[in-house]
A = this chain, B = another copy of it.
């Protein structure tokens, strides 16, 4: 579902050529099956920063895969404040929160210029009946989403500010590594406010923790650019 070619925002190519397909496609899918999946996937124009893909409450009909860039999911709670529920990097699927009630419960917005693949869910369900591997893959994806949220829950309820920030950094580092990008030098696509919101901390605390990490030579930060200098210690903090 995810590709790159000469231009990373080109939308004329296919799943079978996509550099990301090992990540978002069922591993065991046959060539013919990839083609059938390919047929139902819609590739959109590149999205500008701050462009919304959907808003909470809108009717659900598709899940999405990130092809390039990065996407933020968030909800607005009853008392009106934002809760960031996830950051989605290339190769990752988002929008599955909408399945349960036929409406998205989150909003999704591009944190930078991004491109995504849209996967109409009804078609995906039909195809899942014809291709059991695909059904299994989607059950697994959703289950992994559940266990991911549970780990985050544990992080928020038991860990200190430093541990939370270290965990997020290591998570992004690992996901970058999976994308064959550098695990030690990368750009944080989200603001300090988003990091804090996601981790249950204030902007000030996030900023202070990063400064402290820098002072301890665990990393170097310059605005959004990060270089991790002591992976072992950070991994230890992230535990």
The chain A residues found within 8 Å of chain B, CB to CB, are 75, 77-79, 81, 83, 85, 96-101, 105-106, 125, 128-129, 132, 135-136, 138-147, 149-150, 152-154, 156-158, 197, 199-200, 239
Decide: A156 near B156, CB < 8 A? Known: A96-B146, A140-B99, A143-B96.
Answer: yes
Min CB distance A43 to B, Å, is 23
Min CB distance A166 to B, Å, is 13
Per the bound structure, the CA–CA distance linking A100 and B143 in Å amounts to: 5
Chain A interface, >50% SS class: helix
| Closest chain B residue to A156, Cβ basis | B156
> By the criterion CB–CB under 8 Å, are A77 and B149 in contact?
no
Per the bound structure, the CA–CA distance linking A79 and B239 in Å amounts to: 7
> By the criterion CB–CB under 8 Å, are A145 and B146 in contact?
yes
> By the criterion CB–CB under 8 Å, are A156 and B200 in contact?
yes
Q: Which residues of B contact A154 (CB under 8 A)?
A: 75, 77, 83, 85
> By the criterion CB–CB under 8 Å, are B78 and A239 in contact?
yes
Per the bound structure, the CA–CA distance linking A132 and B141 in Å amounts to: 19
Q: Which residues of B contact A142 (CB under 8 A)?
A: 99-100, 139, 142-143, 146
Which 5 A-B pairs rank lowest in CB-CB distance, beginning with the nearest? A157-B200, A100-B143, A99-B143, A149-B149, A100-B144
Min CB distance A101 to B, Å, is 7
Question: Can you identify 13 A-B contacts, CB atoms within 8 angstroms?
Answer: A78-B239, A98-B143, A99-B139, A99-B142, A99-B143, A101-B147, A128-B135, A138-B139, A139-B139, A142-B142, A152-B153, A156-B157, A157-B200
Per the bound structure, the CA–CA distance linking A75 and B157 in Å amounts to: 13
